Amino acid sequence: MNKAEFSHIMGQESQAPHQPVMVNEVLEYLAPKPGQIVADATAGAGGHSVTIVPRLLPDGKFIALDQDRTALELVNRRLLEFSDITHTIHSNFRELPNVLKELGVAGLDGLLMDLGMSSMQVDTAGRGFSFMQEGPLDMRMDNTQSLTAEEIVNSWSFEDLRDTIKTLGEERYAVTYARAIEKYRAKETITSTDQLAELIKKATPPKARYGRLHPATRTFQALRMAVNDELGALEEVLKVLPRVMRPYGRVVCISFHSMEDRLVKHAFAEGQREKRWTVLTKKPVLPTEQEISVNARSRSAKLRAMLNTPPEPKKSRRYSGRKPQAEDLD
């Protein structure tokens, strides 16, 4: 990131457009305490991180992960006064076990995962996440990876495009849009966000063209999730939670997509059935109407939390002086 780009990001931050979602609820369920080891696996612009770190003082440890280097630059700046207890790591949270191993951390007392893209990514036209601004079809959260939205749109088969838009975007016109993309790219390469958004809008039936959501909303969502393998990464980290959490450690997860929420819900429920942990949120916690009025992007947020509950020790049988009976062998 060059100096001009960093100045742009910091200028945006000074205007405070990037509001973390459900901060009070996160603190309530994560319950960070002095001396604990807590990780924010999707640090983003650091909005949640700056509220968690002071609660770990004086001898706790905070680990901020993000696959976006630009975000980590901002987190480093915001947590500068806490640098003695903070580690910022450029990594996808699917690599959490390896990150902890490299840091010499045996387990976490708290883990926060705020899924999806950050406001900072949406608002930066050059990242290509939004159809509201002209930009390249990029959508990479980690710009060191090779796969981009442009590659998907221009090289994936009709069938793969259709399935991606239908599954990840939950888009009813997936067939129509995939066919429109296939037809357009046969004549001209699709390289920009506005180019893709316009062709999707034109392919949309007139009766559905001017609804509450822009016709391209779900397609852009699907492409972003495919580029960054968001569901795959989430599935992986949910599987390793028993390995990375300390006894009585807490996990808080905020999702903005129904498929992500289902994965978290089912993983938490399965862990509770197997008595590996206790679900703290019987139903997802939703943002208040007041928060939604201030931050419209919080509208679709759902928070779930769990407590890593260690199994109860088995009671040992003391020798009673009697001969073993048949029932003792059951």
Mean pLDDT of 33-38: 98
pLDDT tens per residue, range 202-228:
999 998 888 778 899 999 999 999 999
Do residues 269 and 4 lie in contact, with contact meaning Cβ atoms separated by under 8 Å? no
Which tokens hold the place of 138? Answer: 């990029």
Give the helix, strand, coil percentages of the chain, each rounded to 5.
50, 15, 40
Mean pLDDT of 33-48: 94
Contacts of 317 (CB under 8 A, 6+ apart): 328
Mean pLDDT of 284-297: 93
Stretch among 117-131, 287-301, 302-316 having the lowest mean pLDDT: 117-131
What type of residue is 160? D
**What is the location of CATH 1.10.150.170 in the chain?**
143-227
E strands of the chain, at which residues? 37-40, 61-66, 86-90, 108-114, 245-255, 277-279, 302-308
- 307/10: higher pLDDT: 307
Q: How confident is the model at residue 131 (pLDDT cuts 50, 70, 90)?
A: low
pLDDT above 70: percentage of residues in the chain: 84
How far is 264 from 234, CA to CA, in rounded Å? 8
Closest C-alpha to 74, from 16, 6, 3, 143? 6
Helix (H, G, I), strand (E, B) or coil at 321: coil
In this prediction the pTM is 0.85
Distances (CA, A) of 232 to 154, 196, 258, 304, 310: 23, 25, 15, 19, 27
pLDDT at 213: 83
How far is 249 from 135, CA to CA, in rounded Å? 42
User: What does R_g of the chain's alpha carbons equal in angstroms?
Assistant: 23
Its CATH class, for the domain covering 143-227, is: mainly alpha
Closest C-alpha to 305, from 15, 7, 62, 31? 31
Say yes or no to pLDDT of 15 above 90. Answer: no
Closest C-alpha to 128, from 43, 191, 75? 191
What type of residue is 137? L
pLDDT at 13: 38
pLDDT at 318: 56
Distances (CA, A) of 216 to 170, 173, 289: 12, 10, 27
Residue 199 CA, distance from chain mean position: 29
How far is 288 from 291, CA to CA, in rounded Å? 5
Mean pLDDT of the chain: 87
Distance between first and last Cα of the chain? 66
Q: How confident is the model at residue 16 (pLDDT cuts 50, 70, 90)?
A: very low
Which tokens hold the place of 139? Answer: 């959508």
Strand order in the sheet with 302-308: 86-90, 61-66, 37-40, 108-114, 245-255, 302-308, 277-279
CA triplet 33, 280, 25: central angle to 5 degrees? Answer: 60
CATH number of the domain located at residue range(s) 3-119+230-308 in this protein: 3.40.50.150
Which tokens hold the place of 153? Answer: 């749109």
Do residues 305 and 251 lie in contact, with contact meaning Cβ atoms separated by under 8 Å? yes
